[in-house]
Structure 1
Amino acid sequence: MKDFLYKTLSVAAVMISLFSCQEDAELHTEVTPVNALYSPENNAFMNLGAQSSAIFEWEAAKAADNGVVLYDVVFDTEDGDFSDPVYLLPSDGRGLQRRLSLPFSELNKIAQMAGIQPDAVGKLQWSVQSSKGVNVQPLIDIRTIEVARPAGFPSPDELYLLGSATEAGEVLSDAILMKKTSANTFEAYTSLSEGAYHFASRNTGDPDTFYIDEEKLRADGETEYSGDQKVVRIRVDFSNGTTEITEISKVELWFAPNDVFLTDLPYEANGTWSVTDLPIEFRQEDWGRDERYKFRFTTKDAEGNETEEWFGSTNGDNQRPTESTGPAYWYMVPVSNDRWSNSYKFATEVDNASADISVIFNAEVSNYTHTVSVD
């Protein structure tokens, strides 16, 4: 009998202890929702192109155990219901403070996620949810802010070109890496044929994508191209969201001693123009044999207007290259149309021989360059 009573009391004590622990656990996770948002005011307007920050503030929630409360600020599209919010981030102080200071640059990224295009005005909803890390409370007060996005995007580290209109096709892993020409700009020399194309921030996973809409850079779409296949230079500037497409109608080899163009270099692929077995003969002068050369690109804008772009050496004058000449000798940079300045010199063995010449303007080389070889 005593054993039975002891066991009964023990079980009762355990049950009381478990119930008490459950009550304590519930007490430690119970908080009230955030009932009121303070700032910014509803429908406040923010120009995200300014160097400033948005300050979000709200009424305190209360914890049943008088302990700390954690806050998350939640953003959604203008017509969203917060079931799948665009963005969520903790308040200042790793979620402990009743305010969030958010730079306009970060708010610009959130606006992009919400589908608001650069150089456009749109609205975001925001609210604050409270919790103890669990038992997240429902949103009570919801406000709207109106934002004007600057004409640009945060620049990715890399940019790729792909699509049915491109040389790479539609497979992301095969996309063409564009050359990064500054912190915010990229370019590619390539060809386009009938189809569609777009840009991607990387060639794996789920990249950010961009397209061209009347020379403006836009997010999440494709650009349709119709017409004959043509070689183009595509430039993208993320700082102001602008693009430029220029047709490269011709690449020619200029031979300064004879004041003539020796040949066109046909376009192959991957930003490369090449000619093979081209006879080269230096010009005999009183002082020796002259071998100077450089290149001319002929470009064409959308209206069909042609412009010359000359490319030559970084040096005003050069010596003939040898086997020990470094790769920088062959680099191609914009130069003037002066007959002689910034010309290269063919190697001695090119004289009275047939040469293979390639101009290479792609991201696989550290600098735009060219090669000259003889059998």
Structure 2
Amino acid sequence: MKKIIKLAGIMLLVVFAASSCKKENRPLDLSLTPVGTLATPNDNADVKLDPTSSANILFKWDAASTDDGGLILYEIAFDKEGGDFSKPVYKAVSDGGGVKTEITITHKDLNKIANAVGIASSSTGKLKWTVIASKGTNALPSSASRTLQLERPAGFAENPVDLYITGSATEGGTDLSKAVKLKKVEDGVFEIYTSLKAGDYYLTDKNADGGKKYYIENSVIKEGANVVTVTGTAKTYRLNYDFTSATTKSSEIQSIGLYMSAYNTEIGTLNYIGNGVFEAASIPVEFYQFSWGRDERYKFIIHTATGLEYKGSTNANNVSPAGQAASYFYLVPVTNSQWDNTYKFDPSADRKNVKVDVMLQPNAYTHKVTVL
């Protein structure tokens, strides 16, 4: 009898618990009134983009509403001028992880959005924007939208992370896996010291299949599968490609001189041997005798087809190279000052011959002096 009573009690508890669960299992309230008013920027606002700066635009709107005061999240959506936002070209959650009724978008990102809607570089075009409010699975776009007119500068919306040069005119030939990598000077700007011979070349962001391809037309960088044709004898160049402005520069490099400060002249010539390296196999060195001691300072002069450029140390005054970090030998543009930004030969180089290598390669612009 006790067992029956106990079993009956357990069953009553189960029924009560089930009944309680049913009472608490209320349907989720997804009711939502979408954003009604867009605040800023004004409709048809005209923006001249400067993606290389920190400039930005603040987009703001009135809050959506819900019956139970539940959490509402927001996304801004962009579309082509004639689009209906059914397939927006770009969406982003608002500030505060989607909670705030505003979002700050940089000119750099707006430049990418403008490119996505088909506004070409160096041109002006329009796009539309609106706000999508959501509560749970219920997402509703605002019935309001605004137009933004954007003026894009020259240059690319997406700069390559890496850049290679390849083709029959290049040192790596047509084998894409041997494409020659350029030095990234800054975001979107690349440089290389290399030789070009008769043939053709193009630029790519990968030394493997599937990379984007670029070519040069009238000194302007363009994306596409065209090639650049090179004629004449092989020459050494410094090639510079600036994707932020879609421009390119080319300078013929004739040689590099080893300049010794005390003599105020070049004591040897380095010639290009390939792979970004200039070399002099043997240069006689003799320190200059002053009353206070023997002077061993030097730097480099790059001879281009249009003039002279000086490369030297980041330090205005230097110490002896023994025991110094690799950065001691780094090369940066300097002035033609006779004494400033020079290096010092190791004392053992006095009255000896030295082998000098200048390496202008992607990992670093540097040099090495070997006493023979």
Normalised TM-score (structure 2): 0.67
CA contact (8 A) 1:282 1:289 kept: no
Is there any run of 5+ residues in structure 1 with no aligned partner, and where? 1-9, 301-305
CA contact (8 A) 2:48 2:150 kept: yes
1:328-367, aligned counterparts within 5 Å? 330-335=329-334, 346-347=345-346, 349-350=348-349, 355-365=354-364
Provide the aligned length of Structure 1 versus Structure 2. Answer: 345
Is there any run of 5+ residues in structure 2 with no aligned partner, and where? 1-14
Task: Mark the CA change 1:208 to 1:86 in structure 2 (over 3 Å): closer, same or farther.
Answer: farther
Task: Mark the CA change 1:47 to 1:233 in structure 2 (over 3 Å): closer, same or farther.
Answer: same
Match of 1:196 among 196, 202, 205: 202
1:327, distance to aligned residue in structure 2 (A)? 4.7
Task: Mark the CA change 1:170 to 1:95 in structure 2 (over 3 Å): closer, same or farther.
Answer: farther
| Residue type at the aligned position of 1:245 | S
C-alpha distance in 2, partners of 1:232/1:139?
56
Indicate whether 1:225 and 2:231 are aligned: no
1:132, distance to aligned residue in structure 2 (A)? 0.9
CA contact (8 A) 1:47 1:149 kept: yes
1:360, distance to aligned residue in structure 2 (A)? 1.6
Task: Mark the CA change 1:339 to 1:217 in structure 2 (over 3 Å): closer, same or farther.
Answer: same
1:57 aligned partner: 61
1:221-300, aligned counterparts within 5 Å? 224-228=227-231, 230-235=235-240, 243-254=248-259, 257=263, 262-269=268-275, 271-276=276-281, 278=282, 280=284, 282=286, 294-300=299-305
C-alpha distance in 2, partners of 1:295/1:280?
16
1:310 aligned partner: 310
CA contact (8 A) 1:69 1:132 kept: yes
Q: 184-193 or 86-95: which moved more?
A: 184-193
Percent of residue pairs bearing the same amino acid type = 33
Give the root-mean-square deviation of aligned CA atoms: 5.1
1:343, distance to aligned residue in structure 2 (A)? 5.8
1:149, distance to aligned residue in structure 2 (A)? 3.2
1:160 aligned partner: 162
1:142, distance to aligned residue in structure 2 (A)? 4.0
1:177, distance to aligned residue in structure 2 (A)? 5.5
C-alpha distance in 1, partners of 2:42/2:363?
51
The DSSP-based 3-state class of the residue aligned with 2:138 is coil
C-alpha distance in 2, partners of 1:213/1:133?
52
1:111 aligned partner: 114
1:264, distance to aligned residue in structure 2 (A)? 3.8
1:7 aligned partner: none
1:122, distance to aligned residue in structure 2 (A)? 2.1
1:131 aligned partner: 134
| Residue type at the aligned position of 1:311 | K
1:42, distance to aligned residue in structure 2 (A)? 4.1
The DSSP-based 3-state class of the residue aligned with 1:63 is coil
Indicate whether 1:73 and 2:79 are aligned: no
| Residue type at the aligned position of 2:363 | E
Indicate whether 1:176 and 2:173 are aligned: no
Task: Mark the CA change 1:352 to 1:80 in structure 2 (over 3 Å): closer, same or farther.
Answer: farther
The DSSP-based 3-state class of the residue aligned with 1:160 is coil
Task: Mark the CA change 1:272 to 1:94 in structure 2 (over 3 Å): closer, same or farther.
Answer: same
1:126, distance to aligned residue in structure 2 (A)? 1.4
CA contact (8 A) 2:183 2:363 kept: no
Match of 1:146 among 143, 146, 149: 149
2:368 aligned partner: 371
CA contact (8 A) 1:159 1:178 kept: no
CA contact (8 A) 1:257 1:292 kept: no
| Residue type at the aligned position of 2:113 | I
Task: Mark the CA change 1:70 to 1:310 in structure 2 (over 3 Å): closer, same or farther.
Answer: closer
* Structure 1 residues 31-52: Cα deviation after superposition (integer angstroms, max 9, x where no partner): 3455665654543322334956
C-alpha distance in 1, partners of 2:238/2:345?
28
C-alpha distance in 2, partners of 1:258/1:92?
61
1:115, distance to aligned residue in structure 2 (A)? 5.0
